[in-house]
């Protein structure tokens, strides 16, 4: 009986932590302090969810992440919001590996792209460039019948390309930056065209499953019909929809606002 109550108590504690973290991430406006609390709640959730008696907290976290990559991606976003960008990149990489292990290529690539975006916020431009470049290449390998999910992969790829272009521009590699930005615009334009064609074919019928996706979910990331090159000039879009912190917005501003002419539609 004592063991039963201990297990019940642990279960309640981890579910409470996860619920509170998700409630915070569902808010329209979240402070840094709230992000920090949510990140701690996610961390404790994963430590309490471990199946085995591991020697370290890190091992317990990794064991739990392998079984719930969805919540792991959410933890990474909470860490990004809290200002721990390298920590966010690490968790997003673990989420990517966990999704890949269960054969979920689409979510694996989205998570890896987010890891690169996390690193793009830091001063470690070399690591960001490598992770982003490798993750972007993987988007062409994603297949499936879930059109909405596939479109979210392309949208995330476009976001990642703009982040990469911003890094390249800041490093003085302006030709590569322009090429990367042009490719982002081309891919996003095609995404928009496909979206419009699909909406026309279905007469604008919405998918009830999409409308019921909770705002903290990886499946609530920006999708078709929401993203375009021109929107990257909007600070509100970058902050509110893409959740880009100020350091990355500033890098992007140099590319998309100050240097406008090469990228005008």
Domain interval for residue 125:
2-263
- Of the pLDDT bands very low, low, confident and very high (cuts 50, 70, 90), residue 13 is confident
pLDDT at position 264: 45
pLDDT at position 194: 92
pLDDT tens digits for range 134-163 = 999 999 999 999 999 999 999 999 999 999
Among 96, 121, 119, residue whose Cα is nearest residue 109: 96
pLDDT > 50? residue 204: yes
- Percent of the chain scored above 90 by pLDDT? 82
CATH number at residue 216: 1.25.40
pLDDT > 60? residue 232: yes
Alpha helices in the chain (DSSP H): 2-25, 32-48, 57-65, 69-82, 85-101, 105-121, 125-138, 147-170, 174-201, 208-211, 235-236, 246-253
pLDDT at position 200: 87
Residue 261 makes CB contacts below 8 A (sequence gap 6+) with none
pLDDT tens digits for range 62-105 = 999 999 999 999 999 999 999 999 999 999 999 999 999 999 99
Q: What is the mean pLDDT of residues 29-52?
A: 95
- How many structural domains comprise the chain? 1
Backbone angles phi, psi at 31, to 5 degrees: -80, 165
Report the C-alpha gap between 247 and 231 in whole angstroms.
Answer: 18
Residue 194 makes CB contacts below 8 A (sequence gap 6+) with 151, 224
Report the C-alpha gap between 113 and 228 in whole angstroms.
Answer: 18
pLDDT > 60? residue 218: yes
pLDDT at position 66: 96
pLDDT at position 207: 59
pLDDT > 80? residue 261: no
Q: What is the mean pLDDT of residues 226-253?
A: 94
* Its pTM surpasses 0.85: yes
Burial readout 25-49 (b: 16 or more C-beta within 10 A, e: otherwise) = beeeebeeebbbbbbbbbbbbbbbb
pLDDT > 70? residue 19: yes
Report the C-alpha gap between 81 and 29 in whole angstroms.
Answer: 11
How many other C-beta atoms lie within 10 A of the C-beta of residue 195? 20
Which token pair is 235?
């600070």
pLDDT tens digits for range 175-193 = 999 999 999 999 999 999 9
């Amino acid at each position: 009986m004592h063991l039963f109550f201990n297990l019940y108590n642990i279960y309640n504690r981890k579910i409470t932590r996860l619920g509170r973290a998700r409630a915070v991430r569902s808010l329209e406006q979240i402070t840094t302090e709230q992000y920090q609390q949510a990140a701690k709640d996610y961390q404790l959730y994963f430590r309490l969810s471990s199946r085995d008696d591991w020697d370290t907290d890190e091992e317990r976290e990794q064991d739990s992440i392998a079984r719930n990559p969805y919540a792991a991606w959410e933890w990474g976003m909470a860490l990004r919001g809290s200002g721990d960008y390298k920590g966010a990149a690490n968790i997003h990489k673990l989420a990517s590996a966990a999704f890949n292990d269960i054969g979920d290529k689409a979510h694996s690539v989205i998570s890896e792209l987010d890891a690169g975006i996390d690193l793009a916020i830091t001063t470690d431009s070399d690591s960001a460039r490598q992770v982003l470049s490798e993750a972007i290449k993987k988007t062409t390998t994603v297949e499936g019948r879930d059109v909405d999910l596939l479109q979210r992969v392309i949208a995330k790829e476009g976001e990642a390309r703009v982040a990469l272009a911003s890094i390249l521009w800041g490093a003085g590699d302006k030709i590569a930056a322009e090429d990367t930005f042009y490719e982002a615009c081309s891919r996003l334009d095609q995404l928009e065209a496909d979206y419009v064609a699909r909406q026309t074919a279905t007469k604008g019928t919405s998918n009830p499953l999409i409308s019921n996706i909770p705002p903290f979910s990886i499946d609530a990331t920006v999708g078709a019909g929401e993203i375009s090159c021109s929107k990257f000039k909007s600070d509100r879009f970058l902050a509110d929809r893409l959740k880009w912190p100020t350091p990355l917005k500033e890098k992007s501003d140099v590319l998309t606002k100050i240097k406008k002419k090469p990228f005008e539609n």
